[in-house]
Structure 1
Amino acid sequence: MAIPSPKPRVELPDHAPHVLVVDDDRRVRELLTRFLAEQGFRVTAAADVPEARARSQSFVFDALVLDVMMPGENGFDYARQVRETSRVPILMLTARSNSNDRVMGLEIGADDYLPKPFEPRELILRLNNIIKRGVPTGPVRTPGGEVSFGPFTYKIDRGELRRDDESVKISEREREILTMLAEARGGNVERDALAGGWAGERTIDVQINRLRRKTEVDPANPIYLQTVRGVGYRLAVD
């Protein structure tokens, strides 16, 4: 695998696709992290499945790049576990190249399979393809545009929250949650959908409370970001 020489670091936008790379080879992790970042991806890396599982508690990923051969739980084990709760796109990346392994990965639910060594451009093409084909895990939503609630306006395409003419600073995770709620256009969004198959209920509650502190006059008695008991949350849009 020949990775091009480093380019000057570029600040990535918050809406750039976020990829989790799981590989026990430190050199491969570093090369993939650098190359994917140069191609416009935000990257989080993990050396094994337990670390990947821990990372997934803090982030919602747009795709996973999983090495198969790792000590302990391997990539097949992790892909199988992920598929129990999530439809996030998965690209299996491994030195194995025989057809039985490819079939096994696809049967588990992986979206694509790329044997090592590989061409970096092919990795990017395959990764972009599975992300585009990715199926949303939540309710049907209308992408794009903007929604208003009280004095606030949220531009979905740009992930920008404004109060009247002033920008409100929100974190990446808060932006992901607010985008899902805004796209539902006032409909209910289940907790599992907000978690993306990764974060626990406590993590979602913490993020919702942070958003309420930024958008509600009385966060303990929210008007806009409402709890739907037994379901999840909804954004009371105008």
Structure 2
Amino acid sequence: MHKPKILIVDDDADFRAPIKAILMNEGLQVEEAASAQEMQKILAGFDADMVLLDVNLPDDSGLNIVSRLKQNQRIDVVMLSALGEVEHRVNGLTSGADYYLAKPVDIRELLAVINNRFQALTTHQPKQTHAWQLDTVNWLLITPDGEMHPLNNSELTILSLLAKQTMHDKATSREALYSALGNPNYSPESRSLDLHISRMRQRFSSNDFQFPIKTIRNVGYQLTKPIAIL
């Protein structure tokens, strides 16, 4: 069963350390970053379900960061700040944050927020049919073992188009995929789509099954097994 992956982004190591220890003791996967730049490097290889984000970082504002995160990823953002007045909370929430907690953070409240998010994931988990399923509402790909993988915007776009075309036993052209990704005028030398597909093959395959996709020469890609859209 999927356990939330948490990324703590705060420049105060003394603040991060005890929270990380408590969350890991709860069985969660936790990474930490001290800056926006470090956060981006970690997110490249860590599919976080939730970011605990300090408002004031040395290289960027948390208000700017949350807006960027929400544009490209399906991820929960909990803003943490010593500024707990209503005006600051409203600014955080209107920037895109899902929650806003004032420092010093009550760990019981933080755990409740995380558990509520995890409960939402399990509540929407479909019955196991040992098939591939795409939850477009909650941005999840459910693999045959029942594991729920949060998707970013590009992954959801690609999977949705592939799944719809496969219903009609059709391949999906590179042109259609690039257009869906917002890049209709892509260069013939562009390999960004192939990189997306390669990452998805690695991410959604296991020792028991492979991500069901094949390359159609001079055309694009096609799923070798259907992915049911929920």
Q: TM-score range by the shorter chain?
A: 0.5 to 0.7
1:84-163 correspondence to structure 2 within 5 Å: 84-133=71-120, 142=126, 144-147=128-131, 155-157=144-146, 159=147
Q: Distance in 2 between matches of 1:119 and 1:230?
A: 54
Give how far 1:51 is off. 0.6
Distance change >3 Å, CA 126–CA 110, structure 1 → 2: same
- The answer to whether the 8 A contact 1:188-1:231 is kept is no
Aligned to 1:17: 4
1:236 is paired with a residue whose SS is: coil
Distance of 1:60 and 1:93 partners within structure 2: 20
Contact 1:91 1:127 in 2 (8 A): no
TM-score (norm 1): 0.61
- Structure 1 residues without counterparts, runs of 5 or longer: 1-12, 135-140, 149-153, 160-174, 194-199, 217-221
Query: Partner residue of 2:169?
Result: none
8 A Cα contact 2:200 2:211, kept in partner: no
Is this contact kept in 2: 1:224–1:235, CA < 8 A?
A: yes
Quick one: which of 197, 205, 214 aligns to 2:198? 205
- 2-structure distance, mates of 1:102, 1:113: 6
Task: Name the % identity.
Answer: 25
Normalised TM-score (structure 2): 0.63
**AA in 2 matched with 1:144:** Q
Matched residue count: 185
Q: Shift of the alpha carbon at 1:187? A: 2.0
Q: What is the RMSD computed on CA atoms of the aligned residues?
A: 4.3
Q: Distance in 2 between matches of 1:205 and 1:75?
A: 31
Shift of 1:188: 5.4
Does residue 60 (structure 1) correspond to residue 76 (structure 2)? The answer is no
Q: 1: CA distance between counterparts of 2:129 and 2:116?
A: 24
Change (3 A) 1:146 1:78: same
Any gaps of 5 or more consecutive residues in structure 2? Answer: 133-142, 166-176, 182-191
Residue 133 of structure 1, CA deviation: 4.8
- Greater helix percent: which structure? 2
- CA drift at 1:226: 2.7
- The answer (yes or no) to whether the contact 1:63–1:131 under 8 Å persists in 2 is no
Task: Select which of 64, 68, 76 maps to 2:63.
Answer: 76
Question: Structure 1 counterpart of 2:131, which letter?
Answer: V
Using the alignment, how far apart are the partners of 2:222 and 2:33 within structure 1? 31
